Structure 1
Amino acid sequence: MSSPAVQITPQPQPDGGVPHPSGTSPPILDIVRCSRCQQSLSLASQSNSGAVQFGMNSYYCNRCASKVGFVQ
């Protein structure tokens, strides 16, 4: 028999936000996958992300982009 799943929902703060342990707002991270090798890539900063966009919501990692000819 399996036990029922338990979900924990953070209580909203008076200002309408969700509490964060450090007291500051959490960083926003966009995680995408390389379309060729499926490696997870972060788009936190576009210049150092390691992701090459080749279409709308389509990305290659730097290694795959160089293999297919997007990066020299």
Structure 2
Amino acid sequence: MSSSSVQVPRPPSGTGKDMGTHTSAGSTPGSFNSFDIVRCSRCQRSMSLENESTPGVVRFGMNSYYCSRCASMVGFGR
């Protein structure tokens, strides 16, 4: 048996394109609302977290969240 290796060419450095200045149509840098996507620790439902008092999201620890349905089931209801 002979093994063959595959070499992947690296992209050339210094192409002059800056990937960090990409903006979507109709928006300017710094004008969008910042939010995080978090998951419920029990049912794994994805939720957007815009600030500390977002309705429907219950925080019960550091980086630990319940959706409002699961929070009421385990006794963390608001």
Which category of TM-score, normalised to the shorter sequence, fits these structures?
0.5 to 0.7
Offset, 1:71: 0.7
Cα distance in 2 between the residues matched to 1:47 and 1:17: 32
Q: How many residues align?
A: 60
Larger Rg: 2
Contact persistence 1:41–1:49 (CA under 8 A) = no
Counterpart of 1:23 in structure 2 is 27
Offset, 1:65: 0.3
- Normalising to structure 1: TM-score of the pair? 0.66
Residue 39 (str. 1) matches residue 45 (str. 2)? yes
Percent of aligned pairs with the same amino acid: 56
Runs of at least 5 residues in structure 1 that lack an aligned partner in the other structure: 1-10
Instruction: Give the 4+ runs in structure 1 shifted more than 4 A.
Output: none
Offset, 1:29: 1.8
How large is the RMSD of aligned CA atoms in angstroms? 2.3
- Read off the aligned partner of 2:62 and give its amino acid letter: M
Contact persistence 1:20–1:26 (CA under 8 A) = no
Q: Secondary structure at the match of 1:47?
A: coil
Pair 1:27–1:17, CA change in 2 (3 A) = farther
> C-alpha deviations, 1:16-55, integer Å up to 9, x for none?
8542311333221200000000000111143334110000
- Normalising to structure 2: TM-score of the pair? 0.61
Residue 57 (str. 1) matches residue 63 (str. 2)? yes
